Amino acid sequence: MLLETLASEAAVALENASLFEREREAALQIEFLNDLMSHDINNLNQISLGYLELLRNLGLTEKQRMFAEKALNSVKSSAQLVENVKKLQKLKGGEIKLEKLNLKDILLEVIPEISHRADKNVDVTFSPHDIWISGTPLLKDVFFNLMDNAIKYTLSHDVRIEVCVQELDDSIRVCIKDWGSGIPDEMKTKIFDRFERIGKGVKGSGLGLYIVKMIVTKLSGKIWVEDNPEGGSVFCVEFPGVAK
Amino acid sequence: MSFYILIVDDEPEVLELYQFMLESDNTYVVEYAKDGYEAVEKYKRMPTKPDIVIMDYRMPIKDGIEATKEILSQNLNAKIIFASADPTCKDLAMMVGAKDFIKKPFSMDILIGDIKKVLG
């Protein structure tokens, strides 16, 4: 009887080991394919983007130029999608390595990048001061996505964004306020789900806020959206602070 | 005044594109190599060394990191800009002596702006 029990337990253990091995191999295979695919797609995106830019500079008619611009935007979206899929894989793959980072530096890196746009006039208000957090360079994606969303959902040419950083007792809160089209109440929690988009007229994969939430969650933080009383939205993220 | 650029990439379409991008500016004269090995050999034989080398990372025979190390061992003042679709090589590229890293896909303005920045 004892031998039978031991044999049965050994069989289960072997089966589990084999399943674990197969799962590990599948994960490695996915990582390899994702890496290969993103590298090769971005090389192809480079060729399309480059030739479309050269074409755009050839003195086209207004209509031809509009077509070239649309194709260019599509290539840029494709590159963004590849990036998002890579980030998702990284986030799902395991724990994030935490490091002591200055939030001011991250925001000062994102703001010029997001403000420099040909299609809109973006004005970002931010009063920089040193705030240390236990984070990851992926925080840049959090703030980039939130500000990019504020721009996408402000329909007018002039976009106003206010970045407010608050040091609370044991946490740091960053709020990004816009004066855009706002988020309906029924969408306020759903927008952080995969493939959800606030409005159908805005392009995107629906992965941006999902990735933002995953990063924030990995950092033991929280994210929510409120109404801006003057019209628009306020996206807030809160992270544990670190000793100064 | 024109600048001399050596482009290294294993993708012929990308090489041709860089050539069009840079020559549209009338400021650059372009030479190219289709892998790291060819780049190192070509660099060795060039009587006038290029002002800038644009280097891909993943290439057959010899990758961009190895080629960068070998070019820098020939000429410590060589200015190499990495241009790759694989951002994971950025830190290594900078560590072995690249002056900058640009991630594919990038626009023409980024490439030309970066070349100007590195040329000082």
Q: What is the pLDDT of residues A179-199, one digit of tens each?
A: 998 888 888 888 888 755 565
Highest mean predicted confidence (pLDDT) among A76-80, A114-118, A158-162: A158-162
Chain A residues within an 8 Å CB radius of B106: 46, 49
- The string of pLDDT tens digits covering residues A126-147 is 998 898 888 888 898 899 999 9
CA distance A127 to B51: 41
DSSP line for A60-114: --HHHHHHHHHHHHHHHHHHHHHHHHHHHHHHHHSPPPPEEEEHHHHHHHHHHHH
Nearest by CB to residue B85, choosing from A42, A50, A54, is: A42
Position A90 scores a pLDDT of: 76
- Tell me if chain B has a CB within 8 Å of the CB of A47: yes
B105 to chain A, closest Cα gap in Å: 4
- The string of pLDDT tens digits covering residues A59-87 is 889 899 888 888 888 888 788 888 878 77
At residue A31 the predicted structure's pLDDT band, cuts being 50, 70 and 90, is: confident
**pLDDT tens track, chain B, 120 positions:** 789 999 999 999 999 999 998 887 778 889 999 999 999 999 999 999 999 999 999 998 999 999 999 999 999 999 999 999 988 899 999 999 999 999 999 988 899 999 999 998
- Tell me if chain A has a CB within 8 Å of the CB of B46: no
Category of A53 on φ-ψ map: left (φ > 0), alpha (ψ -120 to 50) or beta = alpha
Residue type, position A186, single letter: E
Tell me the mean pLDDT in the region A119-128. 89
- Tell me if chain A has a CB within 8 Å of the CB of B13: yes
- The string of pLDDT tens digits covering residues B48-60 is 999 999 999 999 8
Closest chain B residue to A47 measured between Cα atoms?
Answer: B14
List Cα–Cα distances, A54 to A49, A145, B106, B115, in angstroms. Answer: 9, 29, 13, 18
Chain A residues within an 8 Å CB radius of B58: 39
Res. A163: pLDDT tops 70: yes
At residue A13 the predicted structure's pLDDT band, cuts being 50, 70 and 90, is: confident
Taking all residues of chain A, what is their mean pLDDT, rounded to a whole number? 84
Other C-beta atoms closer than 10 Å to the C-beta of A1 total 5
Q: What are the φ/ψ torsions at residue A162 (nearest 5 degrees)?
A: -120, 125
Nearest by CB to residue A53, choosing from B58, B104, B108, is: B108
For residues B45 and B8, is the Cβ–Cβ distance under 8 A? no
Taking all residues of chain B, what is their mean pLDDT, rounded to a whole number? 93
Determine, for residues B105 and A40 on separate chains, whether the beta-carbon distance falls below 8 Å: no
Position A195 scores a pLDDT of: 59
CA distance A108 to A104: 6
Closest chain A residue to B13 measured between Cα atoms?
Answer: A47
A68 to chain B, closest Cα gap in Å: 14
Other C-beta atoms closer than 10 Å to the C-beta of A243 total 6
Position A196 scores a pLDDT of: 58
- Tell me if chain B has a CB within 8 Å of the CB of A57: yes
Closest chain B residue to A41 measured between Cα atoms?
Answer: B85
Position A177 scores a pLDDT of: 96
A103 to chain B, closest Cα gap in Å: 22
Position B55 scores a pLDDT of: 97
Determine, for residues A43 and B104 on separate chains, whether the beta-carbon distance falls below 8 Å: yes
Residues 97-156 of A with CB under 8 A from B: none
Chain A residues within an 8 Å CB radius of B108: 50, 53-54
Closest chain A residue to B105 measured between Cα atoms?
Answer: A46
Nearest by CB to residue A39, choosing from B14, B20, B58, is: B58
Chain A residues within an 8 Å CB radius of B20: 50-51, 54
Res. A7: pLDDT tops 90: no
Position A197 scores a pLDDT of: 58
